Amino acid sequence: MDMLDKGTEDLLEEHGKPRREVYLDSENSGLIFPEALDEMVKYYLELGYGHPSITHKVGWEAYEALIKVSKLLSSFIGCKPDEIHYLHSGTEANNVAILGLAKAYKGRRKILVSSIEHLSVIYPAESLRNFGFKVVKIPVDGEGFLDLDAFSSLIDSDTLLVSVGLVNHEIGTIQDVKGIVEIVKDKDEQILFHSDASDALGKLKFNLSDLGVDLATFSSHKVYGPKGAAALYIREGVKVEPILFGQLSTQRLWPGVENIPAIAGFGKAVEIMYNNFDKFHSKLKTFRDRLIDGIFENVDHVFLNGPKGEKRAPDNVNISFLYCEGEAITVELSLRGIYVSSGSACTSRILQPSHVLIAIGRKYEAAHGSILMKVAPMHSIEDVNYVLSQLPQAINRLRSISPLKP
């Protein structure tokens, strides 16, 4: 409570328990389909709780769970089941993809990443500078789309890897990854292409073979599955060396016991998302647009971060509120039962502006005043309306006590 100013403490005492709770922070963690949770419990208690490398009944059941999820996932994303490798998070998958490629391929020493990538892509890439690699961030425009002219000029015979996310985790920009891959491969077919597709899974229909990527990352919690499971697609023929060593398992790139219950829940969540794709996609877009339109109608001095319409992820709402601090907004909304993230979700406890918002040209004060909300299939129109009833009040109250004035 030491974070809160006296006025907010008074508000908490006055309002008590919020009339409603709406969780809009799926970027970081949270909501899970009940069916995915049930699937996890089944594999904890009934079958698949063993080690999938061990040759007894329970081990075989665990191994069969891996095969089942791989077949399911591959059928939705357009690859072969044995091209899917399991890890415990999208962060692990991105690190394995980038660092593992750097270990496997000798000679080329240049890596290109878009300037708005997730930090689990940027940081491992930048760490390779200590080993003689040149890491270059590709500039983007004001909506987060790659500057293709600048990008093309950066590609040369020393380029080993390009990493560009299919959907940006923070501002929802949907990149033309197929077109970007074509630019790369037309210049040099030996250059490898990785895409963090965590925010695309279940939100877009795509085919990995059609996109032409060599590696792609997926995360369970981004599709309302459990934490503790992720997948890395590695195209057949692409070499990736492990970066962690230990007892061998069915997963060559990540030793140790696979989290079979989480992987099973991951598979169930993916199945739910794609079996209900049209219904969920329409619902998410409707709620997204209602939030954006409602905020712009009722709050002054705001602007949208990222593109509008079909070029934006269906669940993503990222808005900057001038004359407010994002951290203060998250606290104020939390007291009203509305849970969002401020600035870059992965750096919300560090008083630095989002690298994504700075990359698209936002000034520091605007970046500091941004909040990210992600709608989910579990939400209702009543949830959205509650947010729209509370958010203008929250912003007005914060502005009334802020030293920053229009």
Q: Is 346 a catalytic residue?
A: yes
Contact 176, 153 (CB under 8 A): no
Cβ–Cβ < 8 Å for 72, 275? no
3-state secondary structure of 129: helix
Cα angle 158, 164, 167 (rounded to 5 degrees) comes to: 175
Catalytic residue among 346, 359, 360, 398: 346
Tokens of 204: 């877009």
Contact criterion met (CB below 8 Å) for 112 and 159: yes
Indicate the SS3 state at residue 354. coil
* Cα separation values, 190 from 31, 149, 184, 237, Å: 40, 21, 9, 12
Q: According to DSSP H, which parts of 243-276 are helical?
A: 260-275
Burial 65-76 (b: 16+ CB within 10 A, else e): bbeebbebbbeb
The C-alpha atoms of residue 195 and residue 238 are separated, in whole angstroms, by 14
**Which residues are catalytic, by number?**
346
